[in-house]
Structure 1
Amino acid sequence: MSSEQTHVIVGAGMAGAKAAETLRAEGFEGRIVLVGAEQERPYDRPPLSKGYLLGDQDRDSVYLHSLNWYGDNHVELLTGRRVSRLDRAAHEVELAGGERIGYAKLLLATGSSPRRLKVDGNDLDGVHYLRRLEQSDDLRNAFAHGGRVVVVGAGWIGLETAAAARRAGCEVTVVEPLAQPLQNALGPEMGAVFAEAHRRQGVDLRLGVGVTGFKGAGKVGAVATEAGDIPADIVVVGVGARPNTELAEGAGLTVDNGVHVDAALRTEDPDVFAAGDIANVPNSRYGQRIRVEHWQHAVDSGPAAAKAMLGQDVAYDQLPYFFTDQYDIGMEFTGWFARGGYDRVVTRGDVDGLSFYAFWLAGDEVVAGMHLNQWDDGIGPVTELIRARKAVDPARLADPGSPLG
């Protein structure tokens, strides 16, 4: 089959797998090649720090499709294969080892990788990073043996793994250089709410403290910080992620905090698209480009890119969305604000009881919002408020007796 009938997807995560699924669902009859660097077939990543890590989900539940699905749908799944080069002029990708595959349309869905701390001791046994299924297996086994867990970084991965370690009975310390957990994601006001939730569960939070290294003879025994050493049997590092943009950069595509695409998720090369963590997309609600590293973006952008690859009229303009589960907290967040890009936070409900809404306002408009354990109405009303761009009365917004909107 010639490259004229071949669509290649580089990256076999959520965005790439959903794109392949959508190509078939939309009637594409040509060749689909889905290339993944991991040995595993495509799987869902949120459970790696949530249900799967906790032991509430089995391994089969994390896979996106059955093993037979790829053959049944004539999707060539190449696992454990890395694309080393993109040759735009030849319309080919080159795999490590030299094999070349021609394409008519190409989707880059290469995801992101954990940022590694540049400190001594990073390679000691017992120092864990979490991105892949086997890494979640390793952490789950480590937590089952108990001991002293030190989590470096109080972002989403850090707090979710801290919650899993506490449930497993481990002694947990979280070290974070900022003044509150989740400060970059939620600001200090709501970061403080999550801080208190973890303290209630017995987590020792060391805030405003930087890590300077890991100590041990072959295996980690302590985390060195600016405030002294913390004994550790297990270390989890969750200090953010970086987009895997090397292929795009090497091919001369525009890369600046991800791969620049238009509203159809198309790069400046009309035959090359990008989706998922690496895609830096213009957002009409906020009037600027936004790159999102969360599950819902992968779920939505992969199919949108696939439709655009087929020539359909696509205008991808989703609001950022993410969720977390920690202890008895279930949370959904939608919207976006830059650091310092809001004037106030308005809450509605029982903050101390962890059952409330929060709204971030810039001027008199809601730019982002979340709920904790408000499942009767969920996140839908928040989404409507953000999209409406109407002036709101903060007092009515805070009043549970007043309708939202």
Structure 2
Amino acid sequence: MSEQTIVVVGAGQAGIEAAAEARRQGFTGRVVIYGEEPQPPYKRPPLSKAYLAGTATEESLYVMKPAVMEKHQIEFVGNARVTKIDRAAKTITLADGRSQSYDKLVLATGGRARALPMPGADASNVFVLRTIADIEAIKAHCQPGKRAVIIGGGFIGLEGAASMTKLGVHVTLLEGLPRVLARVTVPLMSEFFERAHREAGVDLRTNVKIAGFEGNPVTAITLEGGERIETDFVVVGIGLVANVELAQDAGLTVDNGIVVNQYCATSDPDIYAAGDCTNHPNVFLGGNVRLESVQNALEQGRAVGRNLAGKNEPYHMVPWFWSDQFDLKLQMVGVSAGHDQVVVRGNPQTERNFAVFYLKGGKMIAADAVSRPQDFMHAKKLVAEGAVIDPAKLADETLPLKMLTTAAA
């Protein structure tokens, strides 16, 4: 092991966790991480929240500061784009022509913001929200009284709307589907967050179709039907595209992500993958899934690190997610797709904290908690166990969820 080299392509959460965990598990060889951005590995979730709002510094985002990486002998190479993997020679090639040999390779290539396929979307004041550089560009426009149009009513769009509204920007949010968060939650949760945003001053519109952009820089967005929405800048948050091209060009199996087995190995046993770019087996879902989640990136990265150090441990994790919007914290565990019953604990019509549980065949498969961290903590356990609980008891707030957790165990 002391003579081996681990190369990690991608300096996000998954990449740094893989490197750090390999070291924690006793790997003594060389570890090199290549990242396309100049910054050392940093956390992306705060970008649309605290960092955009100006309450977090760049350094506070770093997963591991340069001095700590140096202490653990983890080499970081920034501004470095890997363009080719030669599996036979076991080398990678960078855009500037440099090459590096490896014994084990980790692909933690993540994803990139999906571009809006429309003329004018490349204008100078149209931004995506994915990197520190993106946020710096957006922040330069976030003065009180400025007008912004956000396209997309998913987590990124809603978080950006909340952060910009708090900075005094007049935000119009446009969602093409009938409701926000439509792909991840049920109508009552969508209705709650739509109401919360409108009450905070966001001009939130659903079922909207954009006809085009005016000007470069953009001065207005035209909707189908002819309405014009004047704006000072635009933020596009319409999803993520997994970065699989490097793996695909190297002949690795790719299918909605880089396909890995339960040990996070690709179709080449010397190449592992972790994070947003992977399509991996999940025992809780009963099949393969690609998750865009910092928790998955963190835990899967660590699993890769352990297996690089020879542990040969399968990766099993109940998916969970979170989103901060205004004073609300949404925490989600499991995947609610396929549920046949919804149980609500609390009153989303009158309260700003409640929980929603999703059952399938009587078993709890997922839960969403709004500003109820204790309920979320217990729900994680219940989902992991596939607990069967009387729905009436689940809805009864006079019965502490902790009691039901114990009873289910």
Q: TM-score range by the shorter chain?
A: over 0.9
Rounded to whole Å, the distance in 2 between the matches of 1:378 and 1:362 is 19
- Most deviating of 184-193 and 161-170: 184-193
> Deviations along 1:361-397, whole A, 9 cap, x unmatched?
223121110211113x142211122122233322111
Conservation of the 8 A alpha-carbon contact between 2:51 and 2:58: yes
Percent identity, aligned pairs only, is 40
Structure 1, unmatched stretches of 5+, are none
Conservation of the 8 A alpha-carbon contact between 1:266 and 1:274: yes
Tell me if 1:390 matches 2:391. Answer: no
Task: Look up the match of 1:354.
Answer: 352
Task: Look up the match of 1:71.
Answer: 70
Alignment of 1:49-198 (within 5 A): 49-144=48-143, 146-198=145-197
Aligned residue type for 1:44: K
Task: Look up the match of 2:366.
Answer: 368
Rounded to whole Å, the distance in 1 between the matches of 2:54 and 2:99 is 41
Aligned residue type for 1:14: Q
Q: Secondary structure at the match of 1:81?
A: coil
Rounded to whole Å, the distance in 2 between the matches of 1:106 and 1:25 is 18
Alignment of 1:2-41 (within 5 A): 5-41=4-40
Task: Look up the match of 1:399.
Answer: 396
> Deviations along 1:68-87, whole A, 9 cap, x unmatched?
12222222211000110011
Q: Secondary structure at the match of 1:257?
A: coil
Question: How far 1:164 sits from its partner (Å)?
Answer: 0.9
Tell me if 1:272 matches 2:274. Answer: no
Task: Look up the match of 1:211.
Answer: 210
Q: Secondary structure at the match of 2:305?
A: helix
Q: Secondary structure at the match of 2:346?
A: strand
TM-score calculated relative to the size of structure 2: 0.94
Rounded to whole Å, the distance in 2 between the matches of 1:141 and 1:121 is 21
TM-score calculated relative to the size of structure 1: 0.95
Rounded to whole Å, the distance in 1 between the matches of 2:336 and 2:85 is 34
Conservation of the 8 A alpha-carbon contact between 1:151 and 1:175: yes
Rounded to whole Å, the distance in 2 between the matches of 1:389 and 1:45 is 31
Rounded to whole Å, the distance in 1 between the matches of 2:145 and 2:60 is 25
Rounded to whole Å, the distance in 2 between the matches of 1:16 and 1:72 is 17
How many residue pairs match? The answer is 400
> Deviations along 1:109-130, whole A, 9 cap, x unmatched?
0010000011011121211101
Q: Secondary structure at the match of 1:143?
A: coil
Conservation of the 8 A alpha-carbon contact between 2:30 and 2:74: yes
Rounded to whole Å, the distance in 2 between the matches of 1:82 and 1:41 is 14
> Deviations along 1:235-255, whole A, 9 cap, x unmatched?
110000010001110011111
Conservation of the 8 A alpha-carbon contact between 1:331 and 1:371: yes
Conservation of the 8 A alpha-carbon contact between 2:157 and 2:236: yes
Rounded to whole Å, the distance in 2 between the matches of 1:253 and 1:208 is 39
Q: Secondary structure at the match of 2:186?
A: helix
Structure 1 stretches of 4+ with a deviation exceeding 3 A read none
Aligned residue type for 1:108: L
Task: Look up the match of 2:317.
Answer: 318
Task: Look up the match of 1:258.
Answer: 257
Question: How far 1:173 sits from its partner (Å)?
Answer: 0.9
Structure 1 counterpart of 2:378, from 378, 381, 384: 381
> Deviations along 1:141-168, whole A, 9 cap, x unmatched?
2112531111100000000000011111
RMSD: 1.5
Question: How far 1:97 sits from its partner (Å)?
Answer: 2.3
Conservation of the 8 A alpha-carbon contact between 1:152 and 1:211: no
Q: Secondary structure at the match of 1:142?
A: coil
Task: Look up the match of 2:221.
Answer: 223
> Deviations along 1:302-344, whole A, 9 cap, x unmatched?
1111111122121111111111111110121110133xx2223
Q: Secondary structure at the match of 1:19?
A: helix
Aligned residue type for 2:344: T
- Most deviating of 76-85 and 225-234: 225-234
Rounded to whole Å, the distance in 2 between the matches of 1:230 and 1:360 is 38
Q: Secondary structure at the match of 1:186?
A: coil
> Deviations along 1:35-91, whole A, 9 cap, x unmatched?
001111111111100111111112221111222122222222110001100111111
Tell me if 1:335 matches 2:322. Answer: no
Rounded to whole Å, the distance in 2 between the matches of 1:146 and 1:296 is 36
Conservation of the 8 A alpha-carbon contact between 1:189 and 1:345: no
Aligned residue type for 1:397: L
